Structure 1
Amino acid sequence: MITNDFWLERWQAGRIGFHQEGVNPKLMDYWPILAKQSKVLVPLCGKTNDMIWLAEQGYQVTGVELSSLAIIEFIGDNDLTYETHQQGSLKIHKVNELSIRLIEGDYFAFNEQNFDACYDRAALVAMPEPLRKKYVQHTLQRLTDKAFLLLITLQYQGDKKGPPFSVGAEEVIQLWGNQIKKLASENLMETNPDYRDGSYTSFEESVWHIDQN
């Protein structure tokens, strides 16, 4: 079973192959124009610079991350300053230069609501199968009824197993409901040489959204 300690150890050991430098091109391609100051939730955010991009578009960004090391590296890598206060079991780190808050702690202990949008690049695929339904339900409870969701998933076959885990299209629809729609898919074995080492027979990355406006 994948536990919190598993992820903390991965960060401590620097085994963070899931981290992407720069801003994810699919975020820039598929994120809609939302009202300025919209509240955007980024579950299991790590130290992704996608949060910088979202904040620069004029949104209020809240990333939730278990690892204090990930948060420290995000702040240090981007030369940011911050203020921190404790809220129950969570630490709230408020960045001074941008409209970004980093919530340090277990995502399932984070109970704020009324987010206008959610960006999930690496959260659902980090969840082992027994936790996925709980994760989706918890996330939906954080969002408004009209919230926008941008979700990126992986579906693959081969010798390597997750995390990140393979989550097929049928499971995505079963978890999120019929309102979720696929926007695009990319065969990473054709476009990225890192996936041609013989570990996989197929590797597809898909972009999904829920747009209820």
Structure 2
Amino acid sequence: MTNDFWLERWVSGKIGFHQEEVFHKLIEFWPKLPTNSKVLVPLCGKSNDMVWLAEQGYQVTGVELSPLAVMQFLADNDFTFETTQFENGMKVHMVQELPLRIIEGDYFKFQEQGFDACYDRAAMVAIAKPERPNYVKHTIERLTPSAELLLVSLQHDGELNKPPYSVLSQEVIDLWGEKISKISSENLTQLDPQYKARGYDFFEESVWRF
């Protein structure tokens, strides 16, 4: 998927991947980290999971390509913010009410390092298989050697050539390394009729940590 594909999805409002509520498995499985730990949220969209993380006392950095998604996130939460633009075209929006900032631009141009944790609910599954190794490598380079990761993957029997992509468990292990482990897994078609209605017979959502 090209950048233009995702920009168009936001402009046309085709953002079924966005969830208004905080993801319950984030609350259940997020590791206890020291206050002010730096948390990276790649391809963050306008997820309110970032608000929850910031409310826990972490310094949260979301990175998002779509200017529309960024502005909607800031407006929906009625945040006061200051914006700085850099020479590479990326913008930083600093929220005043919480320890939270949004980097607006291409994630692969984001070069900051030293993050203590990463939260990926819908980033890796939005990236086509050929680009996933590059995504994982780029993300790991942003993290400290002892960083924590909370990752959500999906495996389903739906269309394989469009997001959310189905990612096999072995691929997750191959990409992130042997230190990653699956801590939760469930077939959502057994819990929510909307998945059956969308044509899935199997839609497994797994949570991983290292």
* Fold shared by both chains (TM-score > 0.5): yes
- Residue by residue, what CA displacement relative to the aligned partner does 1:6-54 show, whole Å, maximum 9, x if unpaired? 0000000000000011100010000011000000000000000000000
Distance 1:122 1:200 in 2: 18
Matches within 5 A, 1:105-120: 105-120=105-120
Residue 51 of structure 1 corresponds to: 50
Decide whether the 8 Å contact of 1:89 with 1:109 is kept in 2: no
CA–CA distance in structure 2, aligned partners of residues 109 and 154 of structure 1? 26
Q: Secondary structure at the match of 1:158?
A: coil
**Aligned partners of 1:159 and 1:200 also within 8 Å:** no
Taking the aligned partners of 1:67 and 1:12, their CA distance within structure 2 comes to 9
Alignment length (residue pairs): 209
| Divergent runs of 4+, >2 A | 158-162
Corresponding residue for 2:76?
Answer: 77
Contact 1:92/1:101 (CA < 8 Å) preserved in 2? yes
Q: Distance in 2 between matches of 1:202 and 1:86?
A: 44
1:46-104 deviation per Cα after TM superposition (whole angstroms, max 9, x unaligned)? 00000000000000000000000001000111010100011222100000111111000
Please name the residue that 1:28 is paired with.
27
Q: Deviations over 1:127-146 (max 9, x none)?
A: 00111000000000000000
1:138 aligns with 2:123: no
Deviation at 1:193, TM superposition (A): 1.2
Q: Does 1:64 align with 2:33?
A: no
Residue type at the aligned position of 1:91: K
Match of 1:10 in 2: 9
RMSD of aligned alpha carbons: 1.0
Q: Work out whether residues 160 and 199 of structure 1, in 8 Å CA contact, stay in contact via their aligned partners in 2.
A: no
- Which residue type is aligned with residue 130 of structure 1? P
CA distance in 2, matches of 1:39, 1:198: 37
Displacement after TM superposition at 1:199 (Å): 1.4
Aligned residues of 2:160 and 2:166 also touching (Cα < 8 A): no
SS in 1 for 2:197: coil
CA distance in structure 2 between the aligned counterparts of 1:99 and 1:79, rounded to whole angstroms: 15
* Distance in 2 (alpha carbons) for counterparts of 1:97 and 1:185: 35
Give the Cα separation in 2 of the matches to 1:92 and 1:64. 9
AA at the equivalent of 1:95: V
Could you tell me which residue of structure 1 aligns to residue 166 of structure 2? 166
Distance in 2, Cα, partners of 1:61 & 1:10:
25
TM-score (structure 2 length as normaliser):
0.97
Whole-angstrom distance in 1 between the partners of 2:66 and 2:158:
29
Relative distance call for 1:188 and 1:86 in structure 2 (3 A) is same
Which secondary structure does the structure 2 equivalent of 1:18 belong to?
A: coil
- Quick one: distance in 2 between partners of 1:114 and 1:71? 23
Aligned match of 2:124: 124
d(CA) in 2 for partners of 1:198, 1:114 = 40
**Distance of 1:22 and 1:159 partners within structure 2:** 26
